[in-house]
Structure 1
Amino acid sequence: MAISKVVIASIFLSLMVFLQVQAIQTNQVTSNAIPETTYGPEKMDCGGACASRCKLSSRPNLCKRACGTCCARCNCVPPGTYGNYEACPCYAKLTTRENKPKCP
Structure 2
Amino acid sequence: MACKAGRSLLCISLVAVLLLVETATPHGQAYAIDCSARCGYRCSKSGRAKMCLRACGTCCQRCGCVPPGTSGNENVCPCYANMTTHNGRHKCP
Q: Same fold (TM over 0.5)?
A: yes
Partner of 1:53: 42
Q: 2: CA distance between counterparts of 1:57 and 1:69?
A: 17
Gap runs ≥5 in structure 2: 1-20
The 3 A distance-change label for structure 1 pair 60 and 41 is same
CA displacement at 1:68 relative to structure 2: 0.1
> Structure 2 counterpart of 1:71, which letter?
C
> Structure 2 counterpart of 1:77, which letter?
V
Aligned-pair Cα RMSD in Å: 1.8
Matches within 5 A, 1:1-104: 40-104=29-93
Contact 2:84 2:91 in 1 (8 A): yes
Q: 2: CA distance between counterparts of 1:40 and 1:69?
A: 16
Query: What are the superposed Cα offsets for residues 46-91 of structure 1, whole Å, 9 maximum, x if unpaired?
Result: 0000000000000001000000000000000000001100000000
The 3 A distance-change label for structure 1 pair 40 and 87 is closer
In the superposition, the TM-score normalised over structure 2's length comes to: 0.69
Work out which structure has the larger RCO, using CA pairs closer than 8 Å and 6 or more positions apart in sequence.
2
Q: 2: CA distance between counterparts of 1:41 and 1:73?
A: 14
Gap runs ≥5 in structure 1: 1-35
Question: How many pairs align?
Answer: 68
* Identity across the alignment (%): 51
Higher Rg: 1
